[in-house]
Amino acid sequence: MADKLRTQQELERLQAKFVGTGHPDTTSWEWKTNIYRDTYSSIVGHPPHAAYLALATNEPMAKVKADLIRKMVQPCGPPPVREGDEIRIAPREEHNRGDGR
């Protein structure tokens, strides 16, 4: 029983220390976002990887690094709308054209 408690405490410590380790409430979008950001930062942080990607895409290394850093903002697109966070948009009012339509 002590081993199970120790394992749970270690997991909670890791989750508090490292954002990308996830937890039971982590959504698929959050998980993918963390994976993409980790991958992009690894490529940018290792010059041989960045050079390989620059060579493969036939782009300057500075442009490849800038593109990867830019992609880190929203690597998987905007977050999905959650059930409690739905935005209600009022229906558009029909403008009176004055021609009877």
Residue 85: inside a domain = no
Q: How many domains does the chain have?
A: 1
Residue 39: inside a domain = yes
Q: What pLDDT is recorded for position 37?
A: 92
Q: What pLDDT is recorded for position 66?
A: 96
Residue 42: inside a domain = yes
pTM for the model stands at 0.65
Residue 47: inside a domain = yes
Residue 8: inside a domain = no
- Residue 43: which domain range? 26-74
Supply the DSSP string of the chain, one letter for each residue: -HHHHHHHHHHHHHHHH-GGG--TT--HHHHHHHHHHHHHHHHHH-HHHHHHHHHHHT--HHHHHHHHHHHTSSTT-SPPPPGGGPPP-PPPPPP--SS--
Residue 9: inside a domain = no
**Tens digit of each residue's pLDDT (9 = 90 or more) over 28-85:** 888 899 899 999 999 999 999 999 999 999 999 999 999 999 999 989 888 888 777 6
User: For residues 72 and 41, is the Cβ–Cβ distance under 8 A?
Assistant: yes
Residue 100: inside a domain = no
Residue 16: inside a domain = no
